[in-house]
């Protein structure tokens, strides 16, 4: 059994999904759905990454190495995706926004930078509406099928250019 577990961990590392090896954490959304998320990096500022439709937290895996030294990263599996619950009856933007809000509250963040890809951008807009006191910045990241995730430069550039505002100022 131990050998089998070691082989599974090795396969995860080899496949590039290293962050999946680390323990995941859960929060409970407003409707009782269990929301899975992963944390990396420092205490603040907090960057919350929200994937698009039919993806999961692994969409952001190429961003971990870049951000983990200077930021606290939270990568979320929305309800019905990844390791989060899928018992929800109505999958709406408000419900997904409640998922993100539950995670932000669960980690105890006073402020959070919300970063969303594709449908995740709509989710973070709803999250910002649900918790305006905690949203310090929203970053909408849209990519096209011909642009691999690891070549996305907009998120690091936006964070770098606005670091002062993220640490407590305003944009």
Whether 4 is in a domain gets the answer no
* Interval 86-109: pLDDT, tens: 999 999 999 999 999 999 999 999
Task: Confirm whether 138 is domain-assigned.
Answer: yes
Host domain of residue 51 = 26-166
* Residue 41 placed within a domain: yes
- What is the pLDDT, as a whole number, of residue 139? 76
Rg of the chain (C-alpha set): 16
In a domain, 5, yes or no: no
Q: Locate tokens 């310090």: which residue? A: 136
User: Is 142 part of any domain?
Assistant: yes
Residue 113 falls within a domain, yes or no?
yes
98: CB partners within 8 A, 6+ apart: 29, 30, 31, 130
Question: Is 8 inside a domain boundary?
Answer: no
CATH number at residue 52: 3.40.50.1820
Tell me, what's the pLDDT at 78?
A: 97
- Sorted by sequence, the CB contacts under 8 Å of residue 106 that are 6+ apart come out as 25, 27
Tally of domains within the chain = 1
| pTM score over 0.85 | no
Paired with 28 in beta bridges are 34
* pLDDT band at residue 156 using 50, 70 and 90 as cut-offs: low
Nearest to 119 by CA among 148, 85, 167, 81: 81
State residue 37's pLDDT score.
Answer: 97
């Amino acid at each position: 059994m131990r050998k089998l577990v070691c082989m599974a961990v090795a396969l995860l590392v080899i496949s590039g999904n290293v962050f999946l090896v680390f323990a995941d954490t859960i929060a409970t959304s407003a409707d009782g759905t269990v929301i899975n998320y992963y944390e990396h990096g420092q205490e603040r500022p907090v960057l919350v990454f929200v994937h698009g439709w039919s993806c999961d937290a692994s969409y952001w895996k190429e961003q971990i190495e870049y951000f983990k030294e200077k930021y606290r990263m939270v990568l979320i599996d929305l309800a019905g995706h990844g390791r989060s619950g899928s018992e929800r009856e109505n999958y709406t933007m408000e419900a997904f926004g409640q998922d993100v809000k539950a995670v932000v509250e669960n980690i105890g963040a006073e402020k959070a930078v919300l970063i969303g890809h594709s449908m995740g951008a709509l989710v973070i807009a709803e999250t910002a509406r649900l918790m305006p006191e905690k949203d310090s910045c929203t970053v909408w990241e849209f990519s096209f099928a011909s642009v691999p995730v690891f070549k996305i430069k907009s998120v690091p550039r936006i964070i770098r250019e606005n670091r002062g505002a993220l640490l407590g100022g305003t944009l």
